[in-house]
Structure 1
Amino acid sequence: MTSFSNNPINTSVILQSGGEGCSCGGSGSNSSPPSYVYALGKVEWRFPKQSVEKEFAQATGRTETSGQTDREAVYTVLTQRQNRYLVRQMCWVLTIEGLATYILAPRDPADLDLLVEAVRPAPSPADVDIIIGMRGPIAPPELCNGLMLPIVVFDQIYSFDRNMLIGSIPCPENIEAERFTHAAEELFDRIMQMADNAGATDEHRALNYLAVRYHAIYAKAAEAYGQSCALTGVEVRPSSLSSTRKIVAVIFSYTNRNTDFTEKFFVRVDVTEEFPFLVTKLSPYYDR
């Protein structure tokens, strides 16, 4: 088992300095509330320094990669057990909409395998990686070749492509499969492309959770499109049910293209802790 001392990123220090805060006793005036992340993007790797890049090149030369593309060769090298030290030395970054957003570090060293699996020997523009974890401080410039981004200590990574996600959603019996697929793809893409959705606010964490875990929003979108309605708004508000827990209402607005009449539907999500969960199912929403 790899120890944290061998990992360039010390996750225990990160969590104390920028994650859950310090619980060292005393007044606790220096403690800060945890900052959770539930982000959708793509995991990429970088060389933190030239010596690591040269070592990787030597490891590639020792590995059988004949006939492979560059990406396939990288995957082959990283999945070799004898090259696991390289996985620990490399810098892992989550990009969102093409922009480097977070530097990633596993809470458990065994989860380095999740990073390797996200490399993909044959990448596709539809590839998606979900990062669930805790946001820490900004990385120092020497950590990742000058890249100064927030460090996220992750507990889970799910890697899939958009077609796989949409294909796993049960199609309602009253909707044609092709129409449902197109509607689901459009809704998923709109959530992914929402401005500044880095998966760090309660609103974006709730939206990203629903995008990958709650099938009903896709069925409702397909139904609305079939009734000549357009998705005209996605809004997240604090729920009136919030008291000791943080609960948000995610509201989807559909406007009829012929009559301009707008119907709203909402779902409540609990975002108090690291893993969001559903509180109430999708139902009609009425402005008060």
Structure 2
Amino acid sequence: MEEPRVEHEDLTVLPGDGPSAAPAAQPPSPVTVARVPMSPEPAPPPPPAAAMPQTATLQSLPATVREPATEAPPRHVYALGRIEPRFPSLGVEKEWAQVVGRSDAAGLTDREAVRGFLGKRANRYLAREICWVFTVEGVETYLLHPRDPADFKLLIQSLRPEEGLTDSDVDVVIGTLGPIAPPEVCNGLTLPVCLFDQLYSFDADSLISSIPRPENVPAERFESVALDLFLNVVQLADNAGATDEHRALNYLSVRYPAIYHVAAERLAANAALTTVDVDTSRLATTRRVVNVIFSYRDRQTDVVDRYFVRVDVTEKYPFLVSKLAPYFAR
């Protein structure tokens, strides 16, 4: 049997005379196999413009991403400091200058002018435009915003005249900590927003004079001791009123007179306040309860006496769990 003849020059194949080959009157036309160059797989075409990923924003994210199933609990604020108005932009500052220019501001300081003009209903729109910066020990800490728009008047009323302003003047803010404000909100300041529910202002002297005085302590002596204790609490390092420890301390300093009574009595016994410590109560199970411990050292014997009070700081408004009592370390 004759094998098929294959010519490699033009790759022409001629069928043979094998048994499976049927006779044919005419030979078939030559079949030419073209050479196909090998090439890598072509890259997939780019997705259409509509399918290209866009820059993610909070609104463009799915609801399950913007609002996860397990959200972190809100962070509450109970802070002591000062409120200062700031102009967020040049436009708002010029608008304010026009309002003052149309009014009689002769003899008024800047703070008096702000309080007087913003207190008028016609100028209340500027109170919503101004940045209200809360400072702690002179450090810019929060941007304040009322949860209820009607509480803008509380911000205006917090501006006391400069001639009566002293280092003992304090503003108390109670609210919830929000996100960090972008730079364009307040002329480049990037501070956390505090959405406040309660705000009140006082001077430390008025606070101390309103505290009932122990019978065995002279009035002048008690006021001096109480003021010293209050200023020590306010000036604690990094007390921004956002942690459980600082919220408990700030709450006690403005709402619980017993800590001032004990401070005056211990000083009369020649014992000075040395430390204020805060730790988590072992009784806390389902709620957050802290022990605030005041330590007094006798100036002659160096013996340390401690007193403590339990405060529940689970929610926005702290409250007492147990009254001030002697503390015995384990």
1:80: Cα distance to partner? 1.2
Q: 1:278 aligns with which of 298, 316, 320?
A: 320
1:164: Cα distance to partner? 0.8
Residues 135-214 of structure 1: pairs in structure 2 closer than 5 A: 135-214=177-256
Instruction: For 1:26 and 1:205, locate their aligned partners in 2 and report how far apart those are by CA, in whole Å.
Output: 28
The 1:115–1:26 alpha-carbon spacing in structure 2 relative to 1, beyond 3 Å, is closer
1:118 and 2:146 are equivalent in the alignment? no
Which letter does structure 1 place at the counterpart of 2:239? N
Instruction: For 2:257 and 2:76, locate their aligned partners in 1 and report how far apart those are by CA, in whole Å.
Output: 23
- Matched with 2:75 is 35
1:197: Cα distance to partner? 0.2
- Matched with 1:8 is none
Q: 1:87 aligns with which of 118, 127, 135?
A: 127
Count matched residues: 267
Q: In the TM superposition, what whole-angstrom CA distance separates every residue of 1:249-281 from its partner, at most 9, and x where no partner exists?
A: 000000000000000000000000000001100
Q: Which stretches in structure 1 are left out of the alignment for 5+ residues? A: 1-16
Q: In the TM superposition, what whole-angstrom CA distance separates every residue of 1:100-137 from its partner, at most 9, and x where no partner exists?
A: 10000100000101100111134332210000000011
The 1:25–1:44 alpha-carbon spacing in structure 2 relative to 1, beyond 3 Å, is closer
Instruction: For 1:158 and 1:228, locate their aligned partners in 2 and report how far apart those are by CA, in whole Å.
Output: 35
The 1:26–1:85 alpha-carbon spacing in structure 2 relative to 1, beyond 3 Å, is closer
Q: In the TM superposition, what whole-angstrom CA distance separates every residue of 1:214-249 from its partner, at most 9, and x where no partner exists?
A: 000001001111111111110001011101110000
Q: 2:293 aligns with which of 248, 251, 257?
A: 251
The 1:23–1:45 alpha-carbon spacing in structure 2 relative to 1, beyond 3 Å, is farther
- Matched with 1:47 is 87
SS of aligned partner of 2:97: helix
The 1:157–1:26 alpha-carbon spacing in structure 2 relative to 1, beyond 3 Å, is closer
SS of aligned partner of 1:272: coil
1:107 and 2:150 are equivalent in the alignment? no
1:24: Cα distance to partner? 10
SS of aligned partner of 1:124: coil
- Matched with 2:17 is none
Contact 1:65–1:76 (Cα < 8 Å) also in 2: no
Instruction: For 1:282 and 1:231, locate their aligned partners in 2 and report how far apart those are by CA, in whole Å.
Output: 15
Instruction: For 1:180 and 1:23, locate their aligned partners in 2 and report how far apart those are by CA, in whole Å.
Output: 57
Q: 1:239 aligns with which of 281, 306, 319?
A: 281
The 1:26–1:120 alpha-carbon spacing in structure 2 relative to 1, beyond 3 Å, is closer
Instruction: For 1:26 and 1:48, locate their aligned partners in 2 and report how far apart those are by CA, in whole Å.
Output: 30
- Matched with 2:308 is 266
Q: Which moved more, 1:117-126 or 1:171-180?
A: 117-126
Which letter does structure 1 place at the counterpart of 2:169? D
Instruction: For 1:23 and 1:223, locate their aligned partners in 2 and report how far apart those are by CA, in whole Å.
Output: 57
Q: TM-score, normalised by structure 1?
A: 0.90
Instruction: For 2:111 and 2:145, locate their aligned partners in 1 and report how far apart those are by CA, in whole Å.
Output: 22
Residues 2-17 of structure 1: pairs in structure 2 closer than 5 A: none
SS of aligned partner of 2:117: helix
1:72: Cα distance to partner? 1.5
Instruction: For 2:266 and 2:160, locate their aligned partners in 1 and report how far apart those are by CA, in whole Å.
Output: 36
1:180: Cα distance to partner? 0.3
Identity of aligned residues (%): 57
Choose 1 or 2 for highest CA Rg.
2
Answer 1 or 2: higher relative contact order, Cα 8 Å, separation at least 6.
1
